[in-house]
Structure 1
Amino acid sequence: MSTPQLRQVLAAAAVGAGLTLQAGPPGAITAPEALSAATDWGLANPDADTRAGVVVVLVDGLGWRQLQERRGHAPTLRAWLGDAESTPGGGVARTCAPSTTAAALTTLGTGALPGVTGMVGYSVLNPRVGRDLPGDTTPDAAQNLCLITWEGTAPDPRRWQDVPTVFERLAAGPRAAGPTSLAVTIGPARFAGSGLTEAALRGPAHLGADRMEDRPALAAGALERGVPLVYLYVGELDHAGHRHGWRSQQWLRQLERLDATMAELLRRVPTGTRVLLTADHGMVDTDAAHRLDLTAHPALARDVVAVAGEPRFTQLYVPHSDPEAAAAVADRWRSVLGERAAWVGTRREAAGLLGPVGERAESVLGDVLVAMADNWVVVDPRVHSESAIAMPGVHGSLTDTEMTVPLLLARA
């Protein structure tokens, strides 16, 4: 069995819950792919007359390594880990590149890779700015579109990211009992109608619960009403990791909260419910000694007219998006960074990482992409805020710590 992929999770859960996945566009997960994953993971039960519901728990920032190292503080998840480690897949999955929330949640929500959806980073060059920037342009945050917040002059997220979500492709299965809704999402109330939700997870009703501990009751209530598929988001670990680092006591307290919440979820949901827990990315801790300031390195700053992405996966734009200039910039960055970079390549070389680069991604993707190794970051005070530069917990690159996430199955 091949390593499970994050892009398979939501579709496999839907099929495992007895729903039908209708045809999607090229690059999106297909119904046979979803059924194969559901069968491999023990979600599909074709001999059953009825099927219990499935809850997909997405824990933002909970990498496999983080969970393994802190499993002693999470007895519920430790038991799920023990069950998973005895299975062929070992309880792990691979997220997409870049390993960042906007890209990964859209890959989860659509079953398509970032090159297809265009959700290729935390921020990108705003498509309304355009790629034809002259050589005297100075990088500035105002050039960028944040794919988390969609603030400022931004396109309609539904129209710009128009790959249909898994939720939009669902239909009741042949043995469905006829629920009033096929799926719901659960998370902070402010997520309803947000730019990222509209781009990545649009379709179902959103049930708002700002406290992590209040979400299991909403999930149980939906399942009891006959809703077969529930998506439950947990973002508290990611917030703590960004602010304090994932090795901090603050992060550990959020892991303990998560563990108690998962125990409560299993107690509340109807018997037979499957809970599938995964994450969008892992995290590494960095420090001032591992930050490269772009403005302090003239060789790196040369011919760079815009900077987007994130410090672990930087996107650089060259004058007029000239391919020869991009190749020269990529060569200089490889030479200067050396082993501090995991990968440096041009937009034309990006398909190997991001999946097929379609028109949407082509319009915003950096001319040069820089994925950092170990715990190195690239920052630019013209683009990044002081708090972003000082952030101890980071992600986005290609290391196993960031790319490998849990895939744990529990049954009520």
Structure 2
Amino acid sequence: MAQKIQSVKGMNDLLPVEQKDFKLTAAFWQAFEDTVTRWTKSYGYQQIRTPIVEQTGLFVRSIGEETDVVGKEMYTFSDSNDALSLSLRPEGTASCLRAVVEHNLLYNNPQKLWYMGPMFRRERPQKGRYRQFHQVGIEALGFEGPDIDAEIVAMSADLWQKLGIAEHLTLEINSLGNREERAAHRAALVAYLSSHEEKLDEDSKRRLKTNPLRVLDSKNPDLQDICNAAPRLTDYLGEESLAHYQRFKAMLGGLNIAYVENPRLVRGLDYYNHTVFEWTTDKLGAQATVCGGGRYDGLIEELGGKPAASIGFAMGIERLLLLVAEYGSLQADAAPDVYTVHQSEGADLQAMKYAQTLRAAGFNVLQHSGYQSLKAQMKKADNSGARFVLIVAQDELAAQTVTLKDMQGKHPQQTVAAADLIHTLQQWKNA
């Protein structure tokens, strides 16, 4: 027997049933996707789909060459034909904006876009963190004011309500100011951290040289006092940046959205400015951030487009659904409405015709395949979770009738004329 080939570590299959180490099912995932599709449409966002492979330079230019994502985590390879460096996308914003710039979507027309799909990062797999993971992202492009900042935060809060997990999430916010303000803060931060360099761990020492803001993200308990006493970016905000931040907070208050100001919140990518935010939870262990985003007003220009104010957020689907599965209210119903059972010669074809008629009327029908006893077929019907069973045996075939059984017992078993099949099942279903 040939040796089995296993999936790549950190890249999971989605099955119809729960797995030992990955309990999310395809039906539960589909229920979430359906919720997201309705949710984004209700806010006027249009879907965009981009390739999972991009030129490596896109991510170097947008995310930042010195970030952990580009420096250590991307899957990068050379195209065999022209030696072009390609990478599997590690996040969705850069690809989305590349498409916007390439196709000139912002020409006299702001855009509200959303995407959903797989991302890839080479990191140590653990609960809620995988090498192939999936994101839902929202990008609002061409909008300058703090009102859009508040809108997309309110939009995310609305989704938590729909999923039944609002009480388990906390909104953290901060402002990173503009480029000049960040530069002034960076200089002060580097000077401060350098004075404590002997107390920093190796990862923080590396970040001090490449991306000092990320030192503030350290989870090392020995560094918390140092990080808490570090210069705060909000102290370097100018009048315009401060006004934007204050108005954003006022609008959150007006929308009754509770928040916590976190001066150490900087996000992990280079392109952020002004408003940044994260939704965090204490229910997933070390993987506390469920959704995060903020403004990136200079990124479109960096990618070759005309300057345009931009803001967005992304959420990891696997991590979010782990929370929803444990605490939320999302219902995944993969069971058919009707299971067809047949017995005697010619009954299989007639049952198939009835199944097609029911599907055309909007019912989900699972048809029994093969030839087994009625008892065996009814057992499979019960295991399928179907609400109703349609039976075609010798008597029904001769009389052009069907026998219907309500597996929940709300209606007595009944034999009806084939012409009354749809009407009867619709009454039963709606009763």
TM-score (norm 2): 0.22
Structure with the larger RCO, 1 or 2 (CA within 8 Å, 6+ apart): 1
